[in-house]
Structure 1
């Protein structure tokens, strides 16, 4: 997930302040001497070797090191009753493979063999996001797509945010891919200022630095990470211009998303993704003029939800970390420091996308999907109707 706070930082005026950029000496902000290998002969070897690398390169936040390694590692979800199909899922910028835990578990329950990958630069320490290139991220998706295709004739690809860009490009250029499932696809950023991340990365290291206290994802963002994200968006927009994509596509996003250009995604879905079984789940108070869509209201007073967020789509209300009673509350939500402090102190909060404000309410990030079960039923329909 691309953190929205970089939007203001990436404005041209901020580049002029480069000389004042503060480098904080902290192990989490330092970079490793290399990134892990991901081209093992088997997925099992990939998981094992990645975990070994993480054990020696990760900056741990808790005493439970194995837990942190597990949630940041690539994983396989094996179905009890296989249907002969497989899915590869790719997380977003700053996130971990755990982002897809709930979706992957659901898909495995439906019979799909599901794998998640770790994008290079993730899972260890945020300083490592200074290291990856666009090619690194493209290659891990391509390699593990091909590895899965050696075992399964029917392979679907899924991605969240930056991961959605990567898998969409992969699918457009590989006609054997069965179809796509995309969550908050970051085809185009909401702010045009993000395009300057590449230039800025040569003269300043950080787009944003915050305390690293969430074992499931990064809170900070090196400028290089923002730059590589933007490169994925340029590539996928070029790929989408190649013509119609007629394979099945499931998309879910929120009108309140402050990270991506949702209008661009809606137009792409309407004009370029033509399969009759396609579905766009739209978290909004307003229905779309698109017969292949379904809207879900996010003004949910009883749950203290004001609107939908970029990241909340992926998690069930029962998720132990991000659900209704989850342990991870993201108080840094684009509001004032006083409101953030009240949230951190355990004060009552509402939930929303980053940057949303409403008089008389203090908002933390919405980290779960109140319509998770309904969304998964819609996904199932796309997957089964196409067969």
Structure 2
């Protein structure tokens, strides 16, 4: 067994050796990480924006926009409130991922904050700098800051952020509920456990063009190792405990990163609150008898959508960057042998890796059911 493991590890290291970074600041880490333990959220935002301005490897000409879309932010309702929610993004993404949900919840009367996980917002190489404790400590600190300002406290996370906020909720009685979007509890890979070992041998697992101002396209092995640690921690909590407070959970049947069936199963067995809801984007799961689960078809041919991706649930169709007519089109979608059509109206949308000889698929980056998602949030949170 040990010999087979060594052989597999060596093979993965050799494969990853193809990922040789170009001579660019984007693939060289900054000198330090920003603080996240300021006494006020306003000071945290100011300090972090200044750090991003000093350390970001900018992609376009509009530097102010890039800083704004990667910095932590707060949205306040028009009237005083006693309800607050803290959003935590996923591996390689940014606080901006929650902008559409955050704006809607602020309009509904919530104090909303979205933080930047250490290692994000500047350049992919900065994911080489943090430890898992940096991520957990950032979430814990800002959970406490928000708890000091509100009577009712919710946490929300996307992907890896879902792991972090769930771990925080298991150990913090002040948390009243969770909103989890594509939570990264169960990766669709049996080899993730090798990531910490690989990180000692090779710096990069993937090198891509960095043309997306809100998401890292490249992945250091250290980043995969940090995700592995978040998975191990949250799975230990899920194995040992139940979370009895309300939770909203969403996932796509065709998620290319996670195991959707395992995620649905853990919702049914470890999140028993009758107010909780699970939104499944895809075909109705067989033998489903839990009234808390809603299945919405992800095959929408009238909108050239074949299925839903890992990331699209969070974004409104009107989003100006990732929306249906947004400025960024994620064409690289695992179809290297196909060229995108010249006519944009011939492009279809899906999860990563969708194969169809007659259709070219870009990544789906918006949620056609976004208004329904907001209604589910209101139902679970009691609005």
1:12–1:186 Cα change, 3 Å: farther
User: How far did residue 17 of structure 1 move?
Assistant: 4.2
User: How far did residue 336 of structure 1 move?
Assistant: 1.5
SS at match of 1:192: coil
- How far apart in 1 are the matches of 2:132 and 2:89? 15
Asked if structure 1 preserves the Cα contact closer than 8 Å seen for 2:19 and 2:205, the reply is no
Q: Does residue 130 of structure 1 match 2:103?
A: no
**Aligned twin of 2:3:** none
**Aligned twin of 1:310:** 310
Map 1:135-146; keep pairs closer than 5 Å: 135-146=133-144
User: How far did residue 345 of structure 1 move?
Assistant: 8.4
Asked if structure 1 preserves the Cα contact closer than 8 Å seen for 2:16 and 2:206, the reply is no
Relative to the length of structure 2, the TM-score reads 0.94
SS at match of 1:44: helix
Asked if structure 2 preserves the Cα contact closer than 8 Å seen for 1:138 and 1:166, the reply is yes
**Aligned twin of 2:102:** 104
The count of corresponding residues between Structure 1 and Structure 2 is 374
2:187 to 186, 189, 210: 189
Runs of 5+ in structure 2 lacking a partner?
1-7
Runs of 4+ in 1 over 4 A off after TM superposition: 17-21, 343-347
Report the aligned-residue RMSD.
1.6
User: How far did residue 18 of structure 1 move?
Assistant: 5.6
User: How far did residue 348 of structure 1 move?
Assistant: 2.6
2:31 to 33, 58, 73: 33
SS at match of 2:263: helix
User: How far did residue 58 of structure 1 move?
Assistant: 0.3
**Aligned twin of 2:63:** 65
1:378 to 361, 376, 379: 376
Relative to the length of structure 1, the TM-score reads 0.93
Q: Can you list the C-alpha shifts for 1:73-120, whole angstroms capped at 9, x where unaligned? A: 000011113441000000000000000001111111110000000000
Runs of 5+ in structure 1 lacking a partner?
1-9
**Aligned twin of 2:219:** 221
- How far apart in 2 are the matches of 1:211 and 1:138? 29
**Aligned twin of 1:280:** 278
**Aligned twin of 2:359:** 361
- How far apart in 1 are the matches of 2:28 and 2:343? 30
User: How far did residue 23 of structure 1 move?
Assistant: 3.3
- How far apart in 2 are the matches of 1:337 and 1:122? 32
